[in-house]
Structure 1
């Protein structure tokens, strides 16, 4: 039985429907993973590592998040103040868990991200993975880890710029949490769109241009990845789904001309 091409069909121009098409990329990516034995095998390995990493992270935040908030805002004695304090604690826990998952897990799983993306492109057509060679493998591994750390740095930098909002009691804590969540969602889209574009030697300026042009599409995709972290069991697959979804996003944007041909292909 043959399946239709997994490449999503986007409008060449940005519009309100972009947000929902970006959100729908998660379902398309999950379906592709379950139809491909190679993607499923790599995803299962990623899921095992992710489960361990998320468990450790959850435990650490459960212990230390109350201490972090308590250092900025002492637990009130009045009942309404305590309710508000615990609400802010819950929001802080959510943001730190998502940020931590997107710092620790991508770095640990960096060696598997490019193979996942390459297999996805093969299934999209018009692409063949390069043959395995030890030298290029280690060079690619170093580049992948380096680029992942660089993108993580920008995630943390954005959150650090917003962090002084916490100096404003209550309102500042809530505002930092909301803006930090939006920044994280948008960063998630950029992280997983940049990965296949980096493999094809696009400059990061091109990634930024595409994200500005189709920001609603990227925000919808980022929201989908963000929400996936909160679905028990499925959250262990969040990185494979995000990598496959980001690759599908790249191929869909290429198909409608929002992303030009790879720089290496221009002279061919």
Structure 2
């Protein structure tokens, strides 16, 4: 009689620099995996999320005339979703993945049709929010299709989506204080008119994000692009408005200081980039 092989180590496939497999999560293992994700929070502070649901595609409705119309289309699409696949990946500041999870989610009717195997959307979305609150201030939730992905999360956390765009953006900011849309980082210019943080060729948006997170000036990017979702814009929070006012004032002070130093010591001594790190 052949002895069966021993089971793999409990954490195999989640951490380490080897291959990382995708963990499928349904009702029977949702609590175990959510607990595992929360336990990894302090060491793996970058969470990337993507949602594919069965609601009507927002793009099929055509391009609305304004941001409020864009939100109405997103809201209608997400509110009609009954089942979804939510993929979550955790990584650290060096770009090492802790794991990738694929949650199979469904409402009560969809779960019954699937034999009761689908995970609870509200429980999973609340678990992702709890992950963010278990991390420190330098954590972030990242999406490449911010509006619909985040709307799905907010819908199940709060019990429904608000009627107005600004209310939704405020809800999103309350649920996920450090929220970033990769598409916005790649396409929208900075507040000072400079190129987007992800502008130019790059082998991977994720690698660019990791490199940016290690930069000493990342706090400016985090403030300018936080809760800025593609197609919906950003909520003008007190923090963002203060930053918009502070940024040009700081640049003007540096310009005047640079002119004074040039007059005193000459351009060759001061150099064009002398004050870049102030």
Q: What TM-score do you get using the length of structure 1 for normalisation?
A: 0.23
Higher relative contact order, chain-length normalized (CA < 8 Å, sep 6+):
1
Q: What TM-score do you get using the length of structure 2 for normalisation?
A: 0.22
Instruction: Answer 1 or 2: which has greater strand percent.
Output: 2
Larger Rg: 2
